[in-house]
Amino acid sequence: MKKIYTLLLGVRRAKWMFMSLVLAVMCFPHQDASAGQAPVNLGSAGSFAVLAFNTITNTSGGTINGDVGVSPGTAFNAGIPPVKVNGEIHLGDPVAAQAQADLTTAYNNAAGLPGAISATADIGGQTLAPGLYQAPVSFAITGNLTLDAQGDRDAVWIFRMESTLTAANKAQVILVNGAQARNVFWQVGSSATLRTNSIVKGNIMAAASITLQTGARLDGRALARDGAVTLDVNTITRQPWRKFPWPMFVPAITGKKI
């Protein structure tokens, strides 16, 4: 009988040691050396596909998959025919204001990250591993830019520039080996322009304006901190957003005795 009691006591202790370990992992953020660059936390701005400071103007048609917001402005010209919005619209309300505040925080955090890799001004035609990249002044994408996650679906790219981001006509950002659009961030010191029929992946955080020319596609977010967003028959699709790099799953803990 004593041996059975000792065995059951050991099982109970092992159970609670396991649960303590699980809770420690869930409650305390950490990043392994192999995890690489951490993503930029967009806060409440993460629910928006398009966010502007003063106005959003669309020429004609297109689709926005995600929320749309303007703050402190209130102008949203949906175009003729109007752009289809598959999400909520927040014009000058507290939700949009908080999203703008969180965008500013995210923008400043990205701007202050250490350890950037110096990159060429034109990153088109290159294949880049995950990391933090700094432009000489501006970034241009001519041709195709390939982002290779090397099998890591949590791999992150942050592209930082003091001035503009320009994707040339028909330029593409291509994701391979597990790369995810939600983990690509463009921190733009002034304005971003996606030219005709270009396809860009990632979250654009621009200090000034963002323009998508005719037929350009963005798999990510167009977030303009102090300017307008201008559209013309575009498709913008907000990507799934996770605030933390681990699954938010906590096993149930019961008071059942062994």
The span from the CA of 167 to the CA of 170, in Å, is 8
The answer to the question of residue 245 being in a domain is no
Examine residue 37 and state whether it is found in any structural domain, yes or no: no
Measured CA to CA, the distance from residue 191 to residue 206 in angstroms comes to: 6
- The maximal CA–CA distance of the chain, rounded, in angstroms, is 82
Print the domain residue range for 9.
2-28
**Both 199 and 90 in a single domain?**
yes
In this structure, are strands 55-58 and 63-65 parallel, antiparallel, or unpaired? unpaired
**Number of separate domains in the chain:** 2
Are residues 20 and 77 located together in one domain of the fold? no
Residue 19 lies in a domain: yes
Same structural domain, 61 and 161:
yes
Residues 116, 14, single domain; the answer is no
Phi, psi of 82 (to 5 degrees): -70, 150
Q: Is residue 248 part of a domain?
A: no
Asked if 114 and 192 sit in the same domain, the reply is: yes
For Cα atoms 187, 67, 207, give the angle at the middle one, nearest 5 degrees. Answer: 25
Question: pLDDT digit of tens for each residue in the chain (258 aa)?
Answer: 445 444 444 545 544 444 443 333 333 333 332 348 899 999 999 999 999 999 999 999 999 999 999 999 999 999 999 999 999 999 999 999 999 999 999 999 999 999 999 999 999 999 999 999 999 999 999 999 999 999 999 999 999 999 999 999 999 999 999 999 999 999 999 999 999 999 999 999 999 999 999 999 999 999 999 999 999 999 999 998 755 443 333 333 333 332
- pTM, full prediction: 0.81
Residue from 79, 11, 10, 27 nearest 50 by CA: 79
Q: Is position 212 within any domain?
A: yes
CB within 8 A of 63, min separation 6: which ones? Answer: 83, 84, 85, 86, 234, 235, 236
Is residue 81 in a domain?
Answer: yes
Note whether 74 and 194 are same-domain residues: yes
Question: Which residues have CB under 8 Å from 76's CB, separation 6+?
Answer: 55, 56, 68, 70, 89, 91
Cα end-to-end span (Å), the chain: 15
Residues 67 and 14 in one domain: no
Other residues' Cβ atoms within 10 Å of the Cβ of residue 156: 22
The number of helix segments (H) and strand segments (E) in the chain equals 2, 22
Can you tell me whether residue 103 is helix, strand or coil? helix
Indicate whether 98 and 174 sit together in one domain: yes
Same domain, 122 and 229: yes
Does residue 193 belong to any structural domain of this protein?
yes
Domain match, 164 and 109 both: yes
Shared domain for 47 and 80, answered yes or no, is yes
Residue 235 has which token pair?
């498709």
Shared domain for 23 and 106, answered yes or no, is no
